[in-house]
Amino acid sequence: MRDPDDVLADLCVIALVNDDASLAHNLETSDLLTRQGVPLHIERGAASASIGYNAGLDATTAGIVVLAHQDVYFPPGWHVHLARAIADVERIDPDWAVLAPFGMCAETDAHIGDVWSTGISRRVGERVSAPRAVQSVDELVIVLRRASGLRFDPALPRYHLYGTDLVQMAWAAGKGAYVAAMPVVHNDDFKAALGADFTESYAFVRRKWQAVLPLRTPVLWVTKRGFGLLRYRFRAWRGLSKRRALAGDTSVSPKVYAVQCGWEDAG
């Protein structure tokens, strides 16, 4: 395993922030920041996630960059999981580019990883014991190896599907993208529907990656004719009341959910 202290010494976190209360309630309470002292770089007001994260990359120098949502919580010892994941992936792919705690398996289209989602009040993902190649990752946490040279496409509009786009760019450049065992709490709000901003991102990804479609994202299929989005919206509308009933309370400390998952001591 990589020495966790060595990983900590070459690590930074970048977050795109538009809600300081959520940031203070979740990400900023993480042991990774409060006790381990990993620096947090914040970007505000970017026109898109890609532009914001590229600005964050330009403003930092760490070799391992953790791109995290403001409503994510890293349980104590998360850097040890990260160190193990890096060591494991380097044994199979020394030129890896992307690691994540949750995504879509490249071979089976299964949701893999281990994440608590307050939006549906449960742990999600098929557990992995070793890094698994993926065709897309959820954007809640993305770990980027700076030496891979990978950056976000500034032409991708809005704040959606940049995880899918980044993974596909990694594979196209001959560099790997993987999900590994790095459990986190996503203290996310319930989302009733995907708006017009998602449609813009979807249309861009559909055009850009026509040659490799269909692609399975954590939310839906990106398909050649765009029917994947239509099917998702129909299913989401039909199951709205059931999905709403599953939503948890984001005002609860994410540490409570981490204890519930066995990732943190109750004391």
CATH number of the domain residue 223 falls in: 3.90.550.10
Helices (H) and strands (E) in the chain, counts: 10, 15
Give the tokens for residue 251. 């005002």
Q: What's residue 109's pLDDT?
A: 87
Report the domain count for the chain. 1
- Work out the pLDDT band at 266, boundaries 50, 70, 90: confident
Residue-wise pLDDT tens digits, 25-69? 999 999 999 999 999 999 999 999 999 999 999 999 999 999 999
Compute CA 1 distance to the chain's CA centroid, rounded to the nearest angstrom.
23
Residue 266 lies inside a defined structural domain of this protein: no
Residue 187 lies inside a defined structural domain of this protein: yes
Amino acid at 244: R
Residue-wise pLDDT tens digits, 211-259? 999 999 999 999 999 999 999 999 999 999 999 999 999 999 999 999 9
Span 57-84, average pLDDT = 98
Residue 190 lies inside a defined structural domain of this protein: yes
Residue 267 lies inside a defined structural domain of this protein: no
Residue 265 lies inside a defined structural domain of this protein: no
Question: What spatial distance separates the first Cα and last Cα of the chain, rounded to whole Å?
Answer: 28
Contact 117, 183 (CB under 8 A): no
Beta strand 98-100 with 177-179 is: parallel
Mean pLDDT of the chain: 97
Q: Which domain holds residue 218?
A: 4-260
Residue 159 lies inside a defined structural domain of this protein: yes
Within 10 angstroms of residue 155's Cβ, the number of other Cβ atoms is: 11
Residue 217 lies inside a defined structural domain of this protein: yes
Is the pLDDT score of 267 beyond 70?
no
The residue length of the chain stands at 267
